[in-house]
Chains A and B, each alone.
Chain A
Amino acid sequence: GAVVSQHPSWVICKSGTSVKIECRSLDFQATTMFWYRQFPKQSLMLMATSNEGSKATYEQGVEKDKFLINHASLTLSTLTVTSAHPEDSSFYICSAIAGTSVFFGPGTRLTVL
């Protein structure tokens, strides 16, 4: 299947700082990427749809000013968690459409102290 990478795989930061997470499609171009968040023992919750060259579409209840998404190229989307707080600690996973399937990156575990 298609390969999606994420960086970093884990990050620990202090409350109030900002964290940037990168999502790359390695062997294909992705016009659309998706960002999910997953809390322990819960399912994936879609945060936003990232579209190359245009503004991201956020799901209801997701603060667009807190979770900044930039899809600057056909192979890269970034999610920046601004002024992170302990309640933002979670597993952030991106995905991208390749052909008729959707493939996921390995995820980024964010811990905010």
Chain B
Amino acid sequence: QKEVEQNSGPLSVPEGAIASLNCTYSDRGSQSFFWYRQYSGKSPELIMFIYSNGDKEDGRFTAQLNKASQYVSLLIRDSQPSDSATYLCAVWGNTGKLIFGQGTTLQVKP
């Protein structure tokens, strides 16, 4: 089992819709959870992080964490074509390292 798993996609949504990106992790001792956006040929850009169970909202983005289920998600409201990118889930665990999932490609169609 991979430490951090994401559906590689592509996930295709129409412009204006809600995009839902999911991630599961294996280390129950994981402490912090990050969502990064990566455009092709560029380095990851931090969208937001979460470390407490529940929801955390920042603009059009909402991160959701459920430690019991070892599940973290990212919702993007009012999706725009400029949101088309690869979204990386990353988990900070007891190892003191940031471990990445393989990323989910999001396509927002005009």
Q: What is A's interface to B at a CB cutoff of 8 Å?
A: 1, 34, 42-44, 46, 49, 91, 93, 95, 100-107, 109
Residues of A with C-beta under 8 A to B100: 43-44, 46
The answer to whether B46 touches A43 (Cβ under 8 A) is no
Interface string of B35-47 (1 = CB under 8 A from A): 0100001111110
The answer to whether A102 touches B43 (Cβ under 8 A) is no
Given contacts A43-B102, A100-B32, 17 further A-B contacts (CB under 8 A): A34-B97, A42-B102, A43-B100, A46-B97, A49-B97, A91-B41, A91-B43, A93-B44, A100-B51, A101-B49, A102-B46, A102-B98, A104-B43, A104-B45, A104-B46, A106-B42, A107-B42
Q: Which residue on A lies nearest to B99, using beta carbons?
A: A46
Q: What is B's interface to A at a CB cutoff of 8 Å?
A: 32, 34, 36, 41-46, 49, 51, 88, 90, 92, 96-103
B43 to chain A, nearest CB (A): 4
Residues of A with C-beta under 8 A to B49: 100-101
Residues of A with C-beta under 8 A to B43: 91, 93, 104-107
Cα separation A102 to B103 with both chains bound (whole Å): 17
Residues of A with C-beta under 8 A to B96: 49
